Amino acid sequence: MADDCTDTVVLDQGKALLNGTLYHYRPYYRVGGFWVAGDSASATPAATYQGDAVDPQTLLCERLELGLAVEVARGTLAPASGAVPVLTVPHALSGQTVFPCVSVWVEENSTAERAVGEVLCDDEHLGDGGWVETEGWLSSTRLSVVGASSDPAGRIALRTAIGRVIAANLPVFAEYGLTQVTFSQKDSEDVTQSETPLYLVFGSFSCMTPSYIRNVVGEITDVETTVSSSR
């Protein structure tokens, strides 16, 4: 690897390459006991990967927000504010004072299944001659879904509404690659609130989801081979 196309600065590996910097390189072949230089070329390294895998927390929050709005419109939920906020942190940390509300956060996201070469799907050929390569793995994700209400009856209504919304969105989750969805709930109380104790429903949402990046690469158009025979 020759820097600035001179023979005075040579790199024997690509670890020192900087994105956005033009480099020139030249292959050398061992022929008959001598090193023979090939044609020189140049390239500029750059980060080309794109991450377009769905985030389970973002998707679940979106579907809960839309679904709970439907529940309010149907009258199965009757919040004084006219809406059920969906938060991405525990309500105690957000300073939330309007109830009922729902909080969704990540309890765990870990690598579950890996494939040979970390390839999740076949490469995609583009019309301009390039290719889209995909690398990643299947992740096991567990989300906490906690509903908080200021009265016991409201907790029951909130618990059942959350369950209905999640069940109704199973086809949506599958469309976005969330599989093996499981969901459980249990009740609890927060009596540390001196004025109005909170009636909580703790939910656990688990799924398998693809975690991957895509990378557009150029097409290999020329392959040089040298065949030699010995007698």
pLDDT tens digits, the chain, 231 residues: what are they?
Answer: 444 444 444 555 556 788 888 988 888 887 888 888 888 888 888 887 888 789 999 999 999 999 999 999 999 999 999 999 999 998 888 777 789 999 999 999 998 876 665 666 667 777 777 777 788 888 999 999 999 999 999 999 999 999 999 999 999 999 999 999 999 999 999 877 657 789 999 999 999 998 888 887 776 666 666 666 555
Ranges of beta strands (E only) in 32-78 are 34-37, 41-43, 49-50
For 12, what's the count of Cα atoms within 13 Å in the CB-facing half-sphere? 0
Computed from CA positions of residues 78, 189, 105, 141, in that sequence, does the dihedral angle turn out positive or negative?
Answer: negative
Backbone φ and ψ of 216, nearest 5°: -90, 125
Q: Cα–Cα distance between 193 and 91 in angstroms, integer? A: 13
Residue 203 to residues 13, 107, 134, Cα–Cα distance (Å)? 51, 11, 33
How far apart (Å, rounded) are the C-alpha atoms in residues 85 and 35?
A: 70
pLDDT given for residue 131 in this prediction: 79
Q: What is the pLDDT of residue 8?
A: 46
Residue 187 pLDDT: 96
Q: Cα(119)–Cα(181) distance, rounded to whole angstroms?
A: 23
Q: Which residues, in sequence order, are bridge partners of residue 146?
A: 103, 202
Q: Are strands 34-37 and 28-31 parallel, antiparallel or unpaired?
A: antiparallel
Contact 182, 140 (CB under 8 A): no
Nearest Cα neighbor of 117 from 136, 138, 141 is 136
Contact present, 60 and 107 (Cβ < 8 Å) = no
Going by C-beta distance under 8 Å and a sequence separation of 6 or more, which residues neighbour residue 135?
117, 118, 119, 120, 212, 213, 215
Q: What's the rounded Cα separation, in Å, for the pair 6 and 144?
A: 58
Those residues whose C-beta lies under 8 Å from the C-beta of residue 60, and which sit 6 or more positions away, are 104, 143, 145, 205
